[in-house]
Structures are given as structure tokens and as C-alpha cells.
Amino acid sequence: MTTPAATLIQQGLVHHRAGQIALAMDRYTEVLRNDPRNADALYYVAVIACQEGQFQQGIELARRSLMFKPHQARALNLIGQALFQLGQVKEALASFDDALECDEKFAEAYGNRGNMLFELGRMAEALSSLERAVALNPKAVTDWLNLGATLQAVGRFEDAITSYDRAIAVDPNFSALHFNRANALHASGRLDEAMEGYDRTLSIAPKFGEAHLARGLALKQIDRLDEALAAIDQAIANNAESIAAHKIRAQVLQALGREDEARESLAKAAALEAPAGQDKPSEIT
């Protein structure tokens, strides 16, 4: 007796959500062997293709799904995401707009559209889309994060902090939220609170190099230079190729009067900055 397509797809979704991609694909492809026009199975295979970085294949599968079930907001949203990954920005935006024309309350499409507009530097439009996304889905942590980042980019630090707070209430262990919130506090001059934020970030993600570096900068600002140096050294331990970390380390060492070590750090920064194929300096005299 053949298992019904709906049952196979549900089984596939269970595996898919559990990260068991091969098992999910087995179920979806079994559906398609029996019914190559099954729009749902085509869509889920398209999702897997995009998750695996096969964006063009994902677009083709999603468009095939739309042939058999038109006006699918989810498929148009997926196509928009894939097109953006391929650098086809105008087409991606059109696909997100088509998704929202199909379903004007599709929060995920607003969020993806807003994130793309942020990446393009179109901040006012990004804010509008992201605000709509979180209004429709107040538990969308990534959209709150992206809204906060957009507000921060336009200098609205207090609003950004509020946005991060809304996300933290949903997911208190998301290190990027605490890091961005600390940066917004830092930018608004609330250094003590920023330090608490960096400490919270690092309690969740001890190897978060950017957080160590930002913490080091905050410590440098309040002249706690030995602690700043220790924090920057931690940043470099987690990302030895951070040009900014080596430069800031040099500044701290210089402030401590350790000129020789400061020159060594500047030399490392210069070596990392040297274009490919160009001889990198071994020392600075």
C-alpha cells in the first residue's frame, strides 16, 4: 500500500526540523517520484537546496512549485532570499513584493525584505519593513535584532536598545543581541552598562572575539589599560587576523609606555593589510 503524499511530507518536515536533511529528502523525493507536480514537495526540496547554498537550483524548484500552485507567498519569499544571495537585488526585491502581494501579513517576507534593504543602505525603507515584521510577529527574534541594528545605524540608540530588549525577552541567550545592545549603550556613552553587556555576551559566547575587542575599547576609554590589553589579547587569541585588534593593541601598549611592543603590533597590522602578492613587512623601524 502506497503511503499518502501528505503523510510523507509530514514525515519529511519532522526530519527537516530535526536537521535530518537526508531523511527529509528521502520523503520529499518519494512524493515526487509518484507525483512530479506536487507543489509542496517541490517547495521543501527548494528550501533544502537553498540551505545547502544551491541557490539557482532552489529558485528553479520554487518556480516549478509555483507552476502547480500559484500565488504561494512562501515560495516567492524563498526565491527572493535566493536571488539576494546571488546578488540579483532588483529581482529579489520584486519577489519579496510579490510575496507580500499574495499575503500582506507575511511577517517573514517583511523581515527578509527589511534585512536586504538594510544591507543596501536603504535605511528608511528597511525600518518600515522591519517594523511591520515585528508588529506582525512580536516573537521574531531575528527581525528585532535587525530592527535594532538599523535603528543603531541611523543613530537612534535608545530605540535600538528597546528593540534588543524586546528580542532578549524572547531569547535571553542569544549572544549577538547582548553584543549589539552593549554597542548601542557604548555609543550613547553609557559605558558601565555597556561593560555589563559585553560581560553578558562573553558569558554566553566566551570565544566571541568582537566582544572581547569592544570590551577592550571600553576599558581603554576609562583608562583601565592593563585590563584593556588583556581583553584585546583575548580578541586576538580568537581571531589572530583582526587588523583592528592589532592596531588597538598598539595604542594601548603605547599608552602604557611599551613602545617596542606597540611597534610589533603595528607591524602585524601592516602585514595583515598588505595586498595579496605584496611582500609583507617583517618589522617597523
Q: Do 59 and 111 reside in the same domain of the chain?
A: no
Rounded to two decimals, the pTM is 0.85
57 lies in some domain:
yes
pLDDT for residue 230 is more than 80: yes
Instruction: Kindly state whether residue 200 falls inside one of the protein's structural domains.
Output: no
Each residue's pLDDT tens digit, 240-259 = 999 999 999 999 999 999 99
Q: Number of folded domains in the chain?
A: 3
**Domain final position from 65, 99, 133:** 99
**H helices within the chain, ranges in order?**
5-17, 21-34, 39-51, 55-68, 73-85, 89-102, 107-119, 123-136, 141-153, 157-170, 175-187, 191-204, 209-221, 225-238, 243-255, 259-273
Full domain range(s) for residue 129: 105-181
Instruction: Say whether both 86 and 113 belong to one domain.
Output: no
Looking at the structure, do residues 157 and 109 belong to the same domain, yes or no? Answer: yes
pLDDT of residue 180: 97
Q: What would the mean pLDDT of 162-175 be, rounded to a whole number?
A: 97
Whichever domain contains 125, its CATH number is: 1.25.40.10
Q: Which of 41, 68, 99 is the last residue of a domain?
A: 99
Based on the fold, state whether residues 93 and 3 are members of the same structural domain.
yes
Percent pLDDT > 70 in the chain is 95
Q: Within a domain: residue 243?
A: yes
